[in-house]
């Protein structure tokens, strides 16, 4: 009998019962814990109609090699029905270095597109209707630089800045925890982020100023409960930093957005998304006294779990991605990127990227999950799991607060060590075959079918260096240096940094030069030994 079956364990290492019934919802108050869709505490979604009116924004994450190659891929994606673009930048760009610096050697164009100057940004978005598209840029420490380049190019193309829509990731705290592409010390990083909030409130009111990310922590091994706990703890730190800079919570909080992963464990993922909305709504209303309902809404982008894709039998990843995408939709995401089946091997081919987009379109137009809001509301198992994930996440958020908040906990290595412990547990379970990964530790093939991945041309780095040399020979270098000194002066004081940065970039200063101007004043972050 089912009652004799022992409990399974969730990704968050919480018990999953073989059978749930009404007793598991004892004391459950639908009005208090669910409310109506589009109303506090937003458990059932941030909009009353959700996908019954229109589907989520279908994004595809792209960017590789040169700006010209990436531009060609964007045109293809738009032609195939993509409503939002997501830009991947190469590591030198993410770290605030130009392609011709020694430290960039061997990495130019490898994991994303190389953007060194406004010239590259013009090429990247050439011929695209930026006033109509929503563009998400995965950039953190130099987020202000790439945002300003985008604004300048959009204005050149006739777009109204007040109508530009998109998101910069701009979440540096998670870089100290899980990813490592930080530049400046945390205090200075928070100052720059607050300046971005203030700048966008005035200049780019439709732009999402930050995408507070649990995705990368999840890819590093965080459980669902850890993912939302550490993400929301970081979000609280950003809110406090903005308030300390004199901003009113309701002036910037409506433009905060979040970024989560979607795993194949569909039920817990749905519960995770619902729990995250409920926690954030109460944090913003009760702790930060936000009065605008939009300040209390947790709006998020989702990307399917790259870490769960396998190089073995890569076509099987199509099934994984479909389930992951379905979980994100059932959980109420506002936008979604579905990974290509070949991303465990290399950058995706055109065919694989198109299939990934078609996966979203099938969920949106061939299933019935978009015909009703929050289909799992009232489910014994999902409501119980939502409560369980919420309770576990709240415990972890409190543990961060007990250590002095997200920055202090980062400096103590708390979040990183918790994630590493979970990652080690999962790795052991896979090695011991306690956790099945189809095609890897079960149902493997004796011989894999041949697959030809997309390869990045090493000529890209040489060409990018030549373009930089030509740029520096052609521009007014004295004017550029004066503009960079204005950036340094603002960094020494309290003026909003984005205005002198914008002028320097308009004069064709490179992204690396702007980052170096800030390094001159702020220095760089050296992690503690606990890391």
Domain ranges of the chain: 41-432
List the one residue out of 81, 37, 23 whose CA is nearest residue 55. Answer: 81
- Class of 41-432 per CATH? alpha beta
Is 90 exceeded by the pLDDT of residue 61? no
Instruction: Read off the pLDDT band of 59 (50, 70, 90).
Output: confident
Q: Which residues pair with 138 in a beta bridge?
A: 88
Contact predicate 144/189, CB 8 Å:
no
Instruction: Read off the pLDDT band of 347 (50, 70, 90).
Output: confident
- Name the average pLDDT for the chain: 93
Instruction: Read off the pLDDT band of 316 (50, 70, 90).
Output: very high
- What is the average pLDDT across 75-103? 90
The pLDDT of residue 1: 42
Instruction: Read off the pLDDT band of 3 (50, 70, 90).
Output: low
Instruction: Read off the pLDDT band of 69 (50, 70, 90).
Output: confident
Burial 299-327 (b: 16+ CB within 10 A, else e): bbbbbbbbebbbbbbbebbbebbbbbbbb
The pLDDT of residue 346: 78
- What is the average pLDDT across 440-457? 79
Is the torsion defined by CA of 11, 370, 43, 258 positive or negative? positive
pLDDT tens for 118-160 read 999 999 999 999 999 899 899 999 999 999 999 999 999 999 9
Q: At what angle do helices 67-79 and 350-366 cross, to 10 degrees?
A: 30
* Helix intervals (H) in 49-166: 67-79, 91-94, 118-124, 143-156
Give the range with max mean pLDDT: 76-90, 187-201, 434-448: 187-201
Angstrom CA distances, 504 to 174, 486, 517, stand at 28, 9, 11
Is 70 exceeded by the pLDDT of residue 33? yes
Instruction: Read off the pLDDT band of 450 (50, 70, 90).
Output: confident
Q: 261-275, 292-306, 335-349: lowest mean pLDDT where? A: 335-349
E-assigned strand segments in 30-158: 57-62, 84-88, 134-138
How many Å apart are CA 343 and CA 221, to the nearest integer?
A: 18
Is 90 exceeded by the pLDDT of residue 240? yes
pLDDT tens for 463-497 read 999 999 999 999 999 999 999 999 999 999 999 99
How many Å apart are CA 508 and CA 503, to the nearest integer?
A: 9
Q: 40-49, 220-229, 295-304, 435-444: lowest mean pLDDT where? A: 435-444
What's the alpha-carbon Rg for the chain, to the nearest Å? 23
- What is the average pLDDT across 322-346? 94
- What is the average pLDDT across 1-18? 82
How many Å apart are CA 64 and CA 165, to the nearest integer?
A: 23
Instruction: Read off the pLDDT band of 454 (50, 70, 90).
Output: low
Is 50 exceeded by the pLDDT of residue 531? no
The pLDDT of residue 77: 81
* Global model pTM greater than 0.85: yes
Is 60 exceeded by the pLDDT of residue 228? yes
Q: How many other C-beta atoms lie within 10 A of the C-beta of residue 474?
A: 10
Q: How many other C-beta atoms lie within 10 A of the C-beta of residue 163?
A: 13
Give the range with max mean pLDDT: 3-7, 195-199, 342-346: 195-199
The pLDDT of residue 64: 64
Peptide bond into 41 cis (omega under 30): yes
Residues 6+ apart with CB under 8 A from 346: 453, 454, 455
- What is the average pLDDT across 334-341? 94
How many Å apart are CA 438 and CA 440, to the nearest integer?
A: 6
Q: What count of residues does the chain have?
A: 531
Three-state SS annotation for 277-324:
HHHHHHHHHHHCCCCCHHHHCCCEEEEECHHHCCCCCHHHHHHHHHHH
- What is the average pLDDT across 421-434? 94
Strand order in the sheet with 210-213: 207-208, 165-168, 134-138, 84-88, 57-62, 335-337, 300-304, 256-262, 210-213
E-assigned strand segments in 81-233: 84-88, 134-138, 165-168, 207-208, 210-213
Is 50 exceeded by the pLDDT of residue 530? no
How many Å apart are CA 531 and CA 526, to the nearest integer?
A: 10
């Amino acid at each position: 009998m089912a009652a004799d079956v022992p409990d399974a364990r969730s990704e968050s290492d919480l018990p999953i019962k073989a059978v749930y019934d009404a007793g598991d919802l004892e004391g459950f108050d639908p009005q208090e814990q669910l409310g109506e869709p589009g109303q506090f505490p937003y458990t059932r979604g941030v909009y009353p109609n959700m996908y019954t009116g229109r589907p989520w924004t279908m994004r595809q994450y792209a960017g590789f090699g040169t700006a010209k190659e990436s531009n060609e891929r964007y045109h293809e994606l738009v032609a195939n029905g993509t409503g939002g673009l997501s830009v991947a930048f190469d590591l030198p760009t993410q770290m605030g270095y130009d392609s011709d610096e020694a430290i960039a050697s061997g990495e130019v164009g490898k994991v994303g597109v190389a953007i060194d100057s406004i010239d590259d940004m013009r090429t990247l978005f050439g011929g695209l209707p930026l006033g109509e598209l929503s563009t998400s840029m995965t950039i953190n420490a130099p987020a202000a630089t790439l945002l300003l380049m985008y604004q300048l190019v959009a204005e050149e193309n006739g777009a109204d800045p007040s109508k530009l829509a998109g998101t910069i990731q701009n979440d540096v705290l998670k870089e100290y925890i899980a990813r490592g592409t930080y530049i400046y010390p945390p205090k200075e990083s928070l100052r720059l982020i607050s300046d971005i909030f203030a700048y966008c409130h005035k200049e780019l009111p439709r732009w999402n100023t930050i995408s507070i990310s649990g995705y990368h922590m999840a890819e590093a091994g965080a459980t669902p409960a850890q993912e939302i706990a550490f993400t929301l703890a970081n979000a609280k730190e950003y809110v406090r930093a903005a308030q300390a800079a004199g901003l009113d919570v309701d002036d910037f909080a409506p433009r905060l957005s979040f970024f989560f992963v979607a795993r194949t464990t569909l039920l817990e993922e749905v519960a995770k998304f619902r729990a995250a909305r409920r926690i954030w709504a109460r944090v913003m209303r009760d702790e930060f006294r936000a009065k605008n309902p939009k300040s209390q809404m947790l709006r998020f982008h989702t990307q399917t779990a790259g870490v769960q894709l396998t190089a073995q039998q890569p076509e099987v990843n199509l099934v994984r991605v479909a389930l992951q995408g379905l979980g994100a939709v059932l959980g109420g995401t506002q936008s979604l990127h579905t990974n290509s089946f070949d991303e465990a091997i290399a950058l995706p081919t055109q065919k694989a990227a198109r299939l990934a987009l078609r996966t979203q379109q099938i969920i949106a137009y061939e299933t019935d999950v978009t015909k009703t809001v929050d289909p799992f509301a009232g489910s014994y198992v999902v409501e119980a799991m939502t409560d369980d994930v919420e309770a576990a996440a709240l415990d972890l958020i409190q543990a961060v607060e007990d250590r002095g908040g997200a920055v202090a906990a980062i400096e103590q290595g708390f979040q990183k060590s918790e994630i590493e412990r979970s990652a080690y547990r999962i790795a052991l379970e896979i090695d011991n075959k306690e956790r099945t990964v189809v095609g890897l530790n079960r149902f493997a093939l004796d011989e894999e079918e041949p697959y030809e991945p997309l390869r990045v041309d090493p000529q890209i780095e040489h060409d990018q260096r030549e373009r930089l040399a030509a740029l520096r020979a052609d521009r007014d270098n004295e004017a550029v240096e004066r503009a960079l000194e204005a950036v340094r002066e603002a960094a020494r004081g309290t003026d909003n940094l984005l205005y002198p940065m914008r002028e320097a970039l308009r004069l064709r200063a490179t992204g690396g030069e702007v980052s170096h101007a800030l390094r001159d004043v702020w220095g760089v972050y050296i992690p503690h030994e606990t890391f």
